[in-house]
Amino acid sequence: MSFFLFPGQGSQTPGMGQDFYESSPAARGILERAAALAPVGFLGAIFHGTPEQLKDTRLAQTALLAVEVAVAQHLEAAGCRPAGCAGHSLGEFSALVAAGAAAFEPVFRLADVRARLMAENVPEGGMAAVIGLPPSDIEAALPADVQVANYNGPQQTIISGGLAGLEEAERRLKEAGARRLIRLAVSGPFHSVLMAKAASRFRDELDKMELKPPRIRYISSVSAEEVRDPDEIRRLLGEQMLSPVRWTDVMGRIGPVPAVEVGPGRVLQGLAKRMDGAPAVELAGTVEAANALLALG
C-alpha cells in the first residue's frame, strides 16, 4: 500500500488525464461526472486547451481535482489502495475524496466556488520563492505584512504578502544570505491573511458540505497532523487560504511507507528528493507510469 499525495495548482498541463479517459473505465467515470457538473467543453479544454487557458483559476482548480481523483480511482480499481492521503493546497480536496471523507460531486462544486472566490477577491500582492535559506532564518527576516505561504523543504520556502512588503522582504532576505529569490507568476498573495475576505465567504460554502471521518489516514496540510474528526477537517479547510502549507512536516508525518504522486507532473517528487528522510515518491500522472507502478505490486 502506498501513501497517495495530490499536487496543487501549478501542476496542470494540457492533455492531462486524456490517456486515463481513453483506457480506464474507472477514471473515465470520474471525468464524465466532472464534465456533467462543469461548463460545456470542460474535458476538451483539459485535453486540447493551451497552457494559457489552463492558467485560468476556475478551470485549473476543477480540472486538477477531476484528473487527480480519476487517477486515484484507476489505481484503486487495479488493486492499489492508499495507506493514507495528503494534498498540497488544492490537492487537499482530492485527498478528501480519496480518503472517503467526502463525495466527489460536492467537493467538485466546492473547488469551483473556491476558485471563483479566489479570483473575485484577490487583493494586491504576490508570492516569491526563497532558495537556500532555512525557514527559521526566513521567518526572522520577514516584515510584519509578509508571511510564509509554503514550507516546501529545508531549502525552498514560499512567502506571500503585499507588493511593498515583498520588496522589503526580498531586500532583507538577500542580506540574510538567500541564494535565490524568484517572484512567482501568480495573481495574488495566496496562503496569507490578505485572503481573509475570500476565506470568510468560502467558509460559508464549506459549512454546507457533508464530511465524514476518513476511512484511512488523512493528513492536513494546514496542521501537518492526522485528522479524523469531520468538524476539525472543516475548520482546517476553512483556514487553508490564510495559512501556510506545511509540506515538510506532512512528509515527515507520513512515516516509512512508499508514496505516489497522484496527478500530473512531478512537483511533489522533486520536493521529496530534497528532504532528508522523506519517503520515496513514485509517479502516476500517466497511464504508462501508473501501470508501471501497479506492475511492481
Indicate the burial class of 18 (C-beta count within 10 angstroms; 0-12, 13-18, 19 or more): middle
Strand, coil or helix: 247: helix
Place of cell 487557458: 53
Q: Which helix (H) or strand (E) holds 282?
A: strand 281-283
Cα 280 to chain centroid, rounded: 18
Cα–Cα distance for residue pair 115/125, rounded to 1 Å: 17
Please, which residues bridge with residue 130 across strands?
157, 181
**Angstrom distances, CA of residue 119 to CA of 16, 114, 176, 188:** 23, 9, 34, 9
Q: Which of 11, 94, 160, 191 is catalytic?
A: 191
Nearest to 34 by CA among 51, 55, 16, 52: 16
Closest C-alpha among 35, 260, 92 to residue 27? 35
Active site residue 136: no
- Catalytic pick from 2, 11, 89, 192? 89
Torsion of the alpha carbons at 203, 91, 100 and 68, rounded to the nearest 10: 130
Asked if 191 is an active-site residue, the reply is yes
Residue bearing cell 482546517: 236
Catalytic residues: 89, 191
